Amino acid sequence: MKWRSLEESTLAPDSRTLREQLAERKALIEKLVPAETQTIHKQVVEDLQRSGIVERTLKSGAKAPAFDLSDQNGKRVTSTELLSRGRLILCFIRGRWDPFCCGQLEAMRDYLPRFEQARATVAFISPQSVKHSFFMHDQHKPRFPLLSDAGNQVARQFGLVYRVPNSPPTDQQEIYRRVFINLPSTNGDPSWELPIPATYILDRDHTILYVSANPDYTERPEPEEILAALQ
């Protein structure tokens, strides 16, 4: 259940772009994961892209819903509190079991000083339990909160939620079970629902200034792109 980064022995910033880092993880997966499993994952992504889920997500100019969630230590954190410090970079991820979510977390962690210089804060939201958010925070050591969105209630308001398919030819639930990704246990609910990865920038009045939402979980926006949107 724990993704170990390729250089876990050090927290030194990786000088490569996030795209380069994720490409390395893709290459490792292509080498180690059976081809038929990779085919199913790719088919699920394509089905989500055709479903129109991206078109249904909240867009720039809309008002984001306010939220009140628990962080990795069980402390309640509100969007109003976070936005009182400046604009908010809000990243929706699937969980600590996803190597691409971990890669994004590390990249955003390393960019945090530059985001703070631009008077912005960062928070990550996932459906995983507080316990798993604690484990993720302890491993990757970001200086921003990892918020637990039980039942994907907040992600649903952003239009990001889908159910992991469990019918042939794309029985992705069975694939996850085989590699010990037990979402009902990790997330604390039996729905097998996840958010598509998405990154938002919220203005202090909850207005959405920037959005990047993509059913392809192997792709994430570059921190430099997010910084440019802030400036």
Instruction: Give residue-wise pLDDT tens across range 11-60.
Output: 567 889 999 999 999 999 999 999 999 999 999 999 999 999 999 999 99
Residue 71 neighbours by CB under 8 Å, 6+ apart: 77, 130, 133, 145, 146, 147, 148
Closest CA to 13 of 91, 139, 106: 106
Q: First-to-last CA distance in the chain?
A: 37
Element (H, E) at 156: helix 153-157
Grade residue 207 by pLDDT with cuts at 50, 70 and 90. Answer: very high
pTM recorded for the entire structure: 0.94
Helix (H, G, I), strand (E, B) or coil at 5: coil
Residue 82 neighbours by CB under 8 Å, 6+ apart: 88, 121, 123
Domain 18-230 adopts which CATH fold? Glutaredoxin (3.40.30)
Q: What is the 3-state secondary structure (H, E, C) of 55-123?
A: HHCCCCCCECCCCEEECCCCCEEEHHHHHCCCEEEEEECCCCCCHHHHHHHHHHHHHHHHHHHCCEEEE
Beta partners for residue 213, in sequence order: 198
Q: What is the pLDDT of residues 116-152, one digit of tens each?
A: 999 999 999 999 999 999 999 999 999 999 999 999 9
1-10, 25-34, 60-69, 104-113: range with lowest mean pLDDT: 1-10
- Decide if pLDDT at 10 tops 60: no
Q: What is the pLDDT of residue 14?
A: 83
State the DSSP string of 17-65.
-HHHHHHHHHHHHHHHS-HHHHHHHHHHHHHHHHHTTGGGS--TTSBPP
| Structural domain boundaries in the chain | 18-230
The count of residues in the chain is 231
- Decide if pLDDT at 206 tops 50: yes
Peptide bond into 190 cis (omega under 30): no
98-126: average pLDDT = 98
Helix (H, G, I), strand (E, B) or coil at 217: coil
